[in-house]
Amino acid sequence: MSETSTALTLTTGARPCVCLQGAWTLAHYAQLARTVARPTASVVCLDASGLTALDTAGAALLVKLLGTDTLCRILPDASGLSAERRALLLAVANAMAGRESPPPAASRWTDGLARLGKFMLNGWRQWVLLLGFMGLTLSTLAASIARPRSWRLTALVAQMHQCGLNAVPIVALLTFLVGAVVAFLGATVLANFGATIYTVDLVAYSFLREFGVLLTAILLAGRTASAFTAQLGSMKVNEELDALRTQGLDPIELLVLPRLLALTLTLPLLTFIAMLSGMVGGALVSLLSLDIALAQYLAIVQQVPVRHFLVGMGKAPLFALLIALIGCLEGFKVSGSAQSVGEHTTSSVVQSIFGVILLDAIAALFLMEMDW
């Protein structure tokens, strides 16, 4: 048998036996992988008298063909196998134990059900973690109220500037454009019924109750929650949070409370600006396209009950609390890599937007049932 002639044969009979021939080495690995087939019968013995050379590549291929359990069972009684090659096969088999590819899934239905269950379990854990973080933050806030020296006024003002003042242009521009679009679409539909004048009520009601606070919260969820997560996540990657704890400082009190209070104070103000900007956009469309004078527009807006304004403003602190908590929590969950910072930043934006819309839907159903 030549050095390049490599093969694995199976002799059948009372005791099916595998016969190895040639060189089972890395140089002949491609040839072995193409020509050697997995034995279909149950193998009970191994004959290596025709084996001329063996290395880890050949041993790994043999383990893959026969299986770890089968090879370990027949290896002690193998014939024509030196002690060194027997030890090599045994070491490779032990190293590859458990690495066989798992069996295919039973069905796509069960696989999808398993993924759904995993998704629901992760969602429940995230909800419990968010509630725990909320309790920790609120308890820290309650404890710091009695200690004026622990108030971080400079950090609070800086966060209010970043979260509130810097967000005014984008909030005002977006709500102005949305107000103009709502007025235009409303007028297009209402014109078929000769009720174009009710476009003013449509814009006023929608922005006072829903659009003003919802658009503002969604903008801040994408702008501010991501900033909170990236800032705290970068501090955790750089071990700055550990340094604060080493100095006896509480990261919740030092980093979370200023951001939470700043967002809680600025989101209602931004919501008020959004309401005004949306109604200004509706007024511009009414003036230019519907021939509704500005004085008439303002007179109709003044007739809207004030409770709709209070409903919209009342949602703002709740949305601010949710956005700040999710953004800070995802920042604390970052592990020590830049990829983790990006993943949790994306997660905080998605969770914040989803939470804001879900909370707004629940509030709308509740207020509708209460006839508010």
Q: What is the pLDDT of residues 339-359, one digit of tens each?
A: 888 889 999 999 999 999 999
Secondary structure (3-state) at 11: strand
Q: Return d(Cα 341, Cα 236) in angstroms, integer.
A: 10
- Residue 77's pLDDT is 79
Residue 85 tokens read as 């090659």
Q: What is the pLDDT of residues 234-284, one digit of tens each?
A: 888 888 888 888 888 888 988 999 999 999 999 999 999 999 999 999 999
- Residue 63's pLDDT is 82
Let me know: does 168 contact 267? Beta carbons within 8 Å: no
Q: State the Rg of the chain over Cα.
A: 35
- Residue 53's pLDDT is 85
Q: Return d(Cα 288, Cα 282) in angstroms, integer.
A: 10
Sign of torsion over alpha carbons 269, 271, 272, 273:
positive
Secondary structure (3-state) at 360: helix
Q: What is the pLDDT of residues 296-330, one digit of tens each?
A: 999 999 998 999 999 999 999 999 999 999 999 99
- Which residues have CB under 8 Å from 186's CB, separation 6+? 198, 199, 202, 203
Q: Return d(Cα 309, Cα 279) in angstroms, integer.
A: 13
Q: Return d(Cα 132, Cα 141) in angstroms, integer.
A: 14
Q: Which residues of the chain have pLDDT under 50?
A: 1-4, 105
Per CATH, domain 7-95 is 1.10.1220:
no
Q: Return d(Cα 209, Cα 7) in angstroms, integer.
A: 79
Residue 117 tokens read as 């269950």
Residue 64 tokens read as 């893959």
Kindly list the domain boundaries of the chain, sorted by start residue.
7-95, 124-369
CA nearest 364: which of 311, 294, 327?
311
Secondary structure (3-state) at 204: helix
Secondary structure (3-state) at 97: coil
- Residue 3's pLDDT is 42
Strand 45-54 relative to strand 17-24, pairing: parallel
